[in-house]
Amino acid sequence: MEQATIARSYASALFALAEKTGDHEAYGRALASVNALLDSSRLVRDFIRSPKIAVAEKKRILQATLQSSVPPLFLNFLLVVLDKRRQRLLRAIAREYDLMMDERLGRLNVQVTLAREPDARELTDVASRLSRLTGKSVVPHVQVDGDIIGGIIVRYGDRLLDGSLRRRLIAMRAHMMDASLADHATRTTTS
């Protein structure tokens, strides 16, 4: 089974657990904190991922460490992940879980490319306009690329909205070239 499919299955199971308790945010935070812990310490990451350390030992230490800081059903989920030896998928599981949360809450993460870093007001304006356009609550992820000269490029899902000044200039140049060629062709046929 493909890794993304496996991660999606685990994320769905975790989402169902969170649904039972009605606290999706707590489960998302718990998953994010486990990933942050793995990111922050190579020792912890190696301990969790090592096939040389018995699963029972990993579970014992995780229970002692996380028992008071994460929801009990989340801890059980994490122990199952260890039992099934899927701990390397925790980051992918978190990504899938976040996507499910975004869908549930009507959020849409979009990649926004601008020619310069926007200030807070501009960013709010971009998010507001895109929210009206898409009908969802847009969460913009800004990338700066001076090559677009000005304007905006928006990517989400399989959609691309290119309102960059660079694209407009290229289109204008092509239009002028077409007009010039058409004018030249008309003059040569009438001569």
pLDDT of 185 above 80: no
Q: Does residue 155 contact residue 110 with C-beta atoms inside 8 Å?
A: yes
Rounded distance between C-alpha atoms, residue 60 and residue 63, angstroms = 5
pTM: predicted TM-score of the whole model, two decimal places: 0.67
Please compute the mean of the pLDDT values over residues 98-107 and round it to a whole number: 89
The correct answer on CATH 1.10.520.20 for the domain covering 3-103 is: yes
pLDDT of residue 76: 95
Q: What is the pLDDT of residues 68-89, one digit of tens each?
A: 999 999 999 999 999 999 999 9
148 DSSP 8-state letter: G
Q: Where are the domains of the chain?
A: 3-103, 108-184
Per-residue confidence band for 4, with pLDDT thresholds at 50, 70 and 90: confident
**Distance from CA of residue 173 to its chain's centroid?**
36
Per-residue confidence band for 55, with pLDDT thresholds at 50, 70 and 90: very high
